[in-house]
Chains A and B, each alone.
Chain A
Amino acid sequence: MASSCSQALRHHVCKSSRILRVHLQKAWPNRSFVLNSAADQQPAVSSPVEEIVIPKKKTWSKEAVLQALASTVNRDPTASDYRFQDDPYLTPKTSSEFKLFSLSQESGRNAAKYFISTYPKYFQKDYAQPHIPCLMPETLEAQIEEVSEAALIERIQMRKVKAAVDLYDQLQQAGTPVSLDVTNQLLDLICFYGDCDPAQENVPEQRNEETEDVQDEPQTKKGRASKASDKLKAAWKENNNAERIFALLSEPNTHSYSALIRGMVKYGAYSKAFSTYTDLLNNQLKADVSTFNALITAAPEVKEKYNEKWELIVDLLKQMAEQKVKPNLLTLNAVLKALRRCGTVGKSQAFPVISEMRALSIDPSLASYNHLLSIFYKPGAPFQGQTDILQEVMNEVSGKSFTPQDPDDAQFFITAVRICLDTKDIEQAYRVHELLGVGENWRLLGNDFQQNIYHARFFSLLCMMENIDVVLKWYRDLVPSVYYPSSNVMRDLLQVLDTDNRLDLIPQIWKDLKQLGHGNRQTLVEELLTLMAREKQNQEVQETFAECALDIKKMYDTGDRGKVMMSWTAGSLSDLVSVLLAAQRRQDAWEILKLFKTHNRVPSEELLDKFLTCIKESGDVNQALELVQISAGFCLPGTPKLIQRVQQEFLLSEQQKSMLSDLEIQTFNSD
């Protein structure tokens, strides 16, 4: 309103100034420059009445301010996950600690929930206005006791499968008719849970994961986790409650058939599902879209050859069209998923399917793209000119924010980054990672385990393809706030350091390795020592190497709290000695040399030669003699040469000369 007022006022002023100008122009035809400039700057509105367009009032959601504030803040790469407390003692430093802490927090919550549900009377007082239902104690026991339909509905809502089935049987025996809707709901319940009560989510899986060995690599954990979940999923039993109740129905309708078929497909009874479908057709009933989705999912299981599978799917789709059932997104995804099992037929038919579905205004979701990528990029198969497909998919998908519409959406990022890793395509990998940052897409990355796989693959690709500065930038960004690398990935990182000749960063990497819990992995540590010992660096770098090497030595010695003990090899000991010698730390190197004997390893000749050179610089004759004695003790073939060198390069007393000549004879005799 203020603006319209000012507008009117301005108009009035303009009008009056125009009138004034006209008069003035008449009076002073030559002196109108001042008035002209001001008066000429009128708005270009000719009509006396203007259209004032008042914009529509914008309604903001309650969280709009918070979302706006949140969009100004990026992820903090120095902080750990939001679940944990911001304290160095309480921050997880390895992936096993991450899992342990988050699981212990969850189990604390479950313990509290147990108390709340066992003693609900202490939690009834309601302070909250408005009422917060999730903070009230939930009733776990069914309230309605008498045998009635309402009690059955209650048990179905509480997901108590066995209790509901028992109650249904009781109702049947008592002769009370149960309505078709309620029976359908019961069938839904039984078929969804496969005729067993839903297990308490937290207890059994936690126990499986907590008893795993802490030292294991994430890859083996994945294998075990999938096996555990497979065992938990029951198979469709013969003549179970669902089929029995279904048989009792006098007039099963579409919903009942749908529940039964979907249950059968979910629990592996594929051929039964198809026979139930033929029953449905014989009863002149129409199937609904979810039934068709389930059947399409089951199609690859019942046929063997690719062509037959595809023909069955096409047949089902045709029947769908005949029965005037509209397909939805899940239909598209089911067809694409089935095409993954159809080999070459899948490759030829995938794109036509997508375009037909597009014509029906079904937009593909991330799950569809995931299936598409899996059809064309089979893991382990060689690629011939198929890199375009990933690019095309990324062109389609970039910049869009997706919502979860299908359980397989969470697989997209992992599949995409796997393909990038296999085809060594760093550009597409960056685009995939960028897509994660768009809108709500971070929700589609999956659980902690899938996130770990994604980051592992992404980081390995980076190590393979990029130079050290880029790799280090990503390393500092991702580790350890988002990703705890495994020892394989750390080895890749060491290779990058080697390739780009930045070995001076090794001590920092060693510190990170210790923190990540990889400090006692023998292969990794030996590789570190070899890299340090290979070339002579400049003085400061050599000093840091020496410190690092001594630190590594400590890792071999301490075997506290049942950690895996590493054993010295000749190579690692030699490398350690070389590093210390290069840093002019003769005393420490001498200590290590003695370790050869204690651990039954044989030093090489070059090492002893190097040591002798070092001793010569300091001029300690006794140490030289001891060195020769050590060499003789190991019966090394290079001992005579060593003796000669000592005789030539050092000033020896008579006693020492005689000792040396004795040794010489000794070694000569033993040869």
Chain B
Amino acid sequence: MVFSADAITAPCAAGGSNALFCKNMATSLVRKTKLLSMVSSQLNSAACFRNIHCTAACLKNRAARIRVAKGDKPVTYEQAYHPHHIGHRKGWLSQHTSNLQGEDGAAERVVEDVFIRRFMYGTFHGCLADEVVIKRRGNLLLICAVMIQKLLPSKFYFLIGYTEELLSHFYKCPVKIEMQTVEEKVVYKYL
């Protein structure tokens, strides 16, 4: 709302015949600047700050929700319920004690969890039927996964041995995998 004062003052400087016109213009100008100052003061109050946004937009009302579409997209129970249903209709995917009062290490657990999920997704590629559940009991890291019976059992055991050994050496704690297999992905509904 930048008013070009030049455009308004220019006709005033032109001649006395435009005096009335100028006066009208001036009053409207004053009114508008008053409006502007009111609005900007409101904007500068604590209620509405608009700062510079320098990260990617993390839309919390779009995260972990699969939107309703035509009706042919199969969706598991985990995917069907939105994050506000956690604790009500869904359980937690990662269970550890760092979020309790007086406990620390929550951020490290989150980073570990992200790494473990990506590792599982890549190692058992195409076999994961649902999200991996990670439980920590004392020193032990328990990775619970539901797999589709896509590979032979001997291949599954090869990957299980590989994952357990590699992650144990990486995180310096015993890592165990508990696996359950299903014939195909369990569909809860179609969205």
Contacts and interface: CB of A to CB of B under 8 A. Distances in A.
B171 interface: yes
A104 B157 contact: yes
A122 to B, nearest CB: 8
B153 A90 contact: yes
Contacts of A101: 153-154, 157
Contact of B157 (A105, A112, A122, A127): A105
A128 B165 contact: no
Contact of A108 (B149, B157, B180): B157
Interface in A118-163: 122-123, 125-128, 132, 135-137
Tell me what chain A mostly uses at the interface: helix, strand, loop, or mixed.
Answer: helix
A190 to B, nearest CB: 32
A85 B154 contact: no
Nearest to B182: A89
Interface string A516-546: 0000000000000000000000000000000
21 contacts: A89-B153, A104-B154, A106-B161, A107-B158, A108-B157, A108-B158, A108-B162, A108-B163, A111-B162, A112-B163, A112-B166, A115-B166, A116-B165, A116-B166, A123-B169, A123-B170, A126-B172, A132-B172, A132-B173, A135-B173, A136-B172
Given A87-B180, A89-B149, A104-B154, A109 B172 contact: no
B158 A128 contact: no
B62 interface: no
Contacts of B160: 85, 105, 108
A111 B161 CA distance: 9
Contacts of A86: 178
Contacts of B70: none
A511 interface: no
Nearest to B155: A104
B170 A107 contact: no
B179 A85 contact: yes
A318 interface: no
Tell which of B157, B158, B163, B171 has the most Cβ of chain A within 10 Å.
B157
Contacts of B149: 89
Interface residues on A, range: 20 to 34
Given A90-B157, A108-B165, 11 more contacts: A85-B177, A85-B178, A85-B180, A89-B153, A104-B154, A104-B158, A105-B160, A106-B161, A108-B161, A115-B166, A122-B170
A100 interface: yes
A101 B153 CA distance: 7
B172 A104 contact: no
A369 to B, nearest CB: 37
A86 B177 CA distance: 11
A109 B161 contact: yes
Contacts of A100: 154
Interface of B: 149, 153-166, 168-173, 177-181
A203 B170 CA distance: 24
Nearest to A90: B153
A84 B154 CA distance: 11
B153 A112 contact: no
B171 A90 contact: no
A89 B162 contact: no
Interface in A201-227: none
Contacts of A136: 169, 172
Nearest to A210: B154
A476 interface: no
Contact of A109 (B153, B162, B171): B162
B153 to A, nearest CB: 5
Contact of B158 (A89, A105, A115): A105
A86 B178 CA distance: 8
Contacts of B171: 127
B157 A109 contact: no
A113 interface: yes
Contacts of A102: 157
A137 B178 contact: no
Give the 7 A-B CB pairs with smallest separation, nearest first: A108-B161, A112-B165, A108-B162, A128-B172, A105-B161, A108-B158, A112-B166
Tell which of B163, B164, B169, B170 has the most Cβ of chain A within 10 Å.
B169
Contacts of A104: 154-155, 157-158, 161
Contacts of B173: 127-128, 132, 135
A137 B157 contact: no
Nearest to B179: A85
A122 B173 CA distance: 15
Tell which of A109, A136, A137 has the most Cβ of chain B within 10 Å.
A109
Contacts of A87: 179-181
A506 B104 CA distance: 62
Contacts of A122: 170
A84 to B, nearest CB: 8
B177 to A, nearest CB: 8
A531 to B, nearest CB: 33
Tell which of B149, B158, B171 has the most Cβ of chain A within 10 Å.
B158
B137 to A, nearest CB: 13
Contacts of B161: 104-109, 111-112
A105 to B, nearest CB: 4
A109 B164 contact: yes
Contacts of B154: 100-101, 104
Contacts of A92: 153
A115 B164 CA distance: 13
Nearest to B159: A108
Contacts of B178: 85-86
Given A106-B161, A107-B161, A89 B172 contact: no
Nearest to B149: A89
